[in-house]
């Protein structure tokens, strides 16, 4: 792990929420016509939970957020039966390629396990599964969701 890096809940650093919202808006928000940076900030208020879903885990180095990811409910409306999702995995441009995303995801899996979650789903535009496949996720199916080809994957969390 990056030696100056800590993994903490966004709930403990609500002052960083606008930065995370800006990342998310610039990366994904522009895909939807009705989203603004303000609605993104508003949506993320729901993630300021200390220990239950939805929550956001952030990597912090020298007081700055380096990356973030979410544990959430029902990310894809086409799968009402798939409850728990990993989403919003993002590492800021200048900190990519240092294994930060992996650290955040592994910690989120540990949190999911504490919350007694058995299966965690995700969707990725990387149709090879990329990093997620390395971390144990298996592909379920490829679908076109909101006009984008995505791979839906699942991780069975071992006791």
Number of residues that this document lists for the chain? 159
How confident is the model at residue 3, as a pLDDT?
A: 59
How confident is the model at residue 2, as a pLDDT?
A: 54
- Give residue 11's domain range: 5-156
Locate tokens 């800006």: which residue? 22
How large a percentage of the chain has pLDDT more than 70?
97
- Name the pLDDT band for 34 (thresholds 50, 70, 90): confident
Q: Are residues 135 and 89 in contact, defined by beta-carbon separation less than 8 angstroms?
A: no
CATH number at residue 86: 3.40.630.30
Distance CA 79, CA 138 (A): 17
Residue 28, pLDDT above cutoff 90:
no
Distance CA 18, CA 13 (A): 11
Residue 103, pLDDT above cutoff 70:
yes
How confident is the model at residue 106, as a pLDDT?
A: 97
Domain count, the chain: 1
pTM: 0.93
How confident is the model at residue 41, as a pLDDT?
A: 94
Please work out, in degrees rounded to the nearest 5, the angle formed at the alpha carbon of residue 48 by the alpha carbons of 88 and 36.
55
Whether the upstream peptide bond of residue 54 has omega within 30° of 0, thus cis, is yes
Q: Are residues 17 and 44 in contact, defined by beta-carbon separation less than 8 angstroms?
A: yes
Q: Would you call 133 exposed, middle or buried from its count of C-beta atoms within 10 A (0-12, 13-18, 19+)?
A: middle
């Amino acid at each position: 792990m990056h030696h100056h890096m800590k993994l903490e809940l966004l709930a403990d650093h609500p002052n960083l929420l606008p930065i995370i919202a800006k990342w998310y808006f610039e990366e994904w928000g522009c895909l939807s016509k009705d989203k603004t940076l303000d609605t993104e900030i508003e949506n993320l208020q729901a993630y300021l939970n200390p220990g239950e879903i939805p929550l956001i885990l952030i990597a912090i180095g020298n007081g700055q957020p380096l990356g973030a990811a979410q544990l959430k409910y029902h990310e894809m409306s086409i799968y009402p039966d798939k409850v728990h999702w990993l989403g919003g995995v993002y590492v800021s441009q200048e900190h990519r390629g240092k294994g930060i995303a992996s650290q955040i995801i592994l910690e989120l899996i540990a949190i999911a396990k504490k919350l007694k979650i058995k299966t965690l789903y995700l969707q990725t535009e990387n149709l090879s599964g990329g990093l997620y496949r390395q971390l144990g996720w298996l592909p379920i199916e490829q679908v076109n969701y909101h006009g984008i080809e995505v791979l839906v994957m699942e991780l069975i969390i071992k006791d």
